[in-house]
Structure 1
Amino acid sequence: MAETKTIQEILVSLGEKPINLNIEIPGMKGENGQDGRNGADGLSAYDIAQLEGFTGTRKQWLDSLKGGAIADEARTMLLNGNVWCKSNSIADVLAAVISNLGKAFPRTEFKPLTVPTVLQGQRVVTVEGEPRYFVKVVGMETPFEIGDNGTGSISIEPMGVDDVHLTYHNFTGEKVGETVIAGSHEDTRTPDETYEENGVKYALFGRKLEVNVVNFNGDFEHNFILLGKWPKTSIDSVLIKASRPTTLETGALDGRRYTFTDVAGNHIGNIPVLVDNPKNVTFDNNDRYEYPIKLGSIEYGTADVAFDSSRVEWSDSQHKYVNTGSSIDHL
């Protein structure tokens, strides 16, 4: 968590100029002083504002005062100290400071993220956690905020067999936890062999390999490997499964095995590679390869696709995968 300051330091930061307070002390009364001489009229606040560079009209200047004073630095200190502050207005900052008086600062405790049981086909899930913290669904960009009452709703793809991974973030965006909504595993088939690498789950049924890529967590140093641990002689076809948008890093880096070679380093050749939801799978590529891949969808079949650009993705108009990235020259 970022460096924080004490509540006293936050109060000091509310302004560089001193705050003048009128305080009446009961029972104390001073003597009358001598009358002073009449002084010359001083500059108005608007005149002073003009001398300081304000160029608007008197009305514009008055309107500018209605927004109230702000305290950006104090609000940042509070958020970094795990104390919620609605805005940078003085009123909100003081309210946040007062709410934390007598408590530890920085505040270290927070409510953990809890998720109820999710049913197959469910799209909206109610979660509980720290008010104003937020949740992200891995594979989706939109964050979901937890409300003041400690509950929030997140949207997911209709719940199926795939696990859904969630990350939990504090006021400043720092990840403070993660959890998994387990998929509803209703597939009664039993694969002959299974394997997992970089979040990808492989299941071999006879000579048909099914590759669930939805939780791929690799990168170009830990690139996607199509055939997993198997030689090409054990595989007749490959089905890539993705229930939500997924990007796979393909190619090879620093001596890594190339995506489209088998465990012995042989190119996969004419093995057809089908994708069940082709719009959900995009390939980010870093290594041009001399052999095309027979890649496509269940609906439209395969086409020869050359991985010679930095991105390969599905084209709805052409019904096939096409190169859409920048050119890669090296082989």
Structure 2
Amino acid sequence: MAETKTLQEILLTLGEKPLNVNVSLPGIKGENGQDGRNGADGLSAYDIAQLNGFTGTQQEWLESLKAGAVADEARTMLLNGNVWCKSNSIADVLAAVISNLGKAFPRTEFKPLTVPTVLQGQRVITVEGEPHYFVKVGGMETQFEIGDNGTGSISIEPLGVDDVHLTYHNFIGEKVGETVISGGHEDTRTPDESYEENGVKYALFGRKLEINVVNFNGDYEHNFILLGKWPKDSIDSVMIKASRPTTLYTGAFNGRRYTFKDVVGSGIGNIPVLVDNPKNVTFINNDAYSQPVKIGNIEYGTANVKFETSRIEWSDSEHKYVNTGSSIDHL
């Protein structure tokens, strides 16, 4: 082996197949080997990007690399599959995929919303649920997200006599649950008759109709009906109650009974309508009503107000309800 060169080829025979093995012997210099043939050039990274849908120039592609690679579709797929993904960056998408390895996809389980006992007057509530799901409070547009640790804080109007409705939503906004925070009892009176429609609670005490509208959940197709199920001859006055900002849809839709007509189709006439907190009640209207409505509050009394525009709300300066929307015609 003394004459063996630095790059020594040893031929080993395994059965009938020869196996060429190159071994290096330290300290001994061998001859240069024979050059191989030139291979074909492969695709560049830019070429591969184009094959996968990139339509910009090479410079635009380089700029996109500087900005960081993203995976919008992958993130959307993860969120739709109920797997949380912080952003569309490649790193966050990969982290989300890895976190769900070995688990079912789409993921069906999630932590339910848990709400503690809420005290009268309380306005900030700590809830528990699925991280990054969110909670909405009835009558409010704000979304309250649950944090990484599974807890979150929601804000409500100070809890009073009215129930507070919460809805629970997943990453893409789908409602997956709901719960009610019960308000206190206003009094122990028992109405002669009562019922509920579109979230509005009607209670008739003698000839006085009291309406709690704070949880109204209707729309133009299911509009607010002032006198509920009663004819106007059964009612002397109406009190509308709302402990927090509430929007009522008034008017009519495809033959639906008009807001200010009774169960037999007669107009409410001169029945006074008082609102306990008029700043909290705004009317969104879709049909001009030819007769004025006597509406106001206890402090300033009622005024004749025509519901002839798309919005009617309380004016602090005029101490009455005024038309502030655009003009509308009969449908």
Is TM more than 0.5 here?
Answer: yes
SS at 1:96 equivalent: helix
Write the mapping of 1:141-220 to structure 2, written as runs, cut at 5 A. Answer: 141-220=141-220
Per the alignment, residue 100 of structure 1 pairs with 100
Instruction: Quote how far apart the aligned CAs of 1:256 are.
Output: 2.1
Provide the rounded CA distance (Å) in 1 between the counterparts of 2:167 and 2:301.
37
Provide the rounded CA distance (Å) in 1 between the counterparts of 2:96 and 2:301.
60
Is 1:52 paired with 2:57?
yes
Larger Rg: 2
With structure 1 as the length reference, what TM-score do the two structures score? 0.80
Cα distance per residue 1:113-156 (max 9 Å; x no partner): 11111111110111111000000011100000001111111100
Cα distance per residue 1:100-122 (max 9 Å; x no partner): 11110110110111111111111
With structure 2 as the length reference, what TM-score do the two structures score? 0.80
Provide the rounded CA distance (Å) in 1 between the counterparts of 2:87 and 2:159.
37
Provide the rounded CA distance (Å) in 2 between the counterparts of 1:272 and 1:330.
24
* 2:302 partner amino acid: T
Higher strand share: 2
Provide the rounded CA distance (Å) in 1 between the counterparts of 2:81 and 2:320.
51
Per the alignment, residue 260 of structure 1 pairs with 260
Q: Is the 8 A contact 1:238 1:273 kept in 2?
A: yes
- In structure 1, runs of 5+ residues without a counterpart are 1-28, 38-44, 46-50, 56-60
Is 1:115 paired with 2:115?
yes
Instruction: Quote how far apart the aligned CAs of 1:67 are.
Output: 4.1
SS at 1:222 equivalent: coil
SS at 1:221 equivalent: coil
Which structure has more relative contact order (CA 8 Å, sep 6+)? It is: 1
Provide the rounded CA distance (Å) in 2 between the counterparts of 1:30 and 1:327.
93
* 1:52 partner amino acid: T
Per the alignment, residue 80 of structure 1 pairs with 80
Q: Is the 8 A contact 1:119 1:184 kept in 2?
A: no
Q: Is the 8 A contact 1:207 1:237 kept in 2?
A: yes
Provide the rounded CA distance (Å) in 2 between the counterparts of 1:30 and 1:110.
59
Tell me: CA distance 1:36–1:329, structure 2 relative to 1, closer, same or farther (3 Å).
Answer: same
Provide the rounded CA distance (Å) in 2 between the counterparts of 1:30 and 1:97.
43
Q: How many residues align?
A: 290
- In structure 2, runs of 5+ residues without a counterpart are 1-20, 24-31, 38-44, 46-55
* 1:164 partner amino acid: V
Tell me: CA distance 1:234–1:81, structure 2 relative to 1, closer, same or farther (3 Å).
Answer: same
Q: Work out the percentage of aligned pairs sharing the same amino acid.
A: 84
Instruction: Quote how far apart the aligned CAs of 1:158 are.
Output: 0.7
Instruction: Quote how far apart the aligned CAs of 1:94 are.
Output: 0.9
Instruction: Quote how far apart the aligned CAs of 1:253 are.
Output: 2.2
Provide the rounded CA distance (Å) in 1 between the counterparts of 2:22 and 2:119.
77
Q: Is the 8 A contact 1:238 1:274 kept in 2?
A: yes
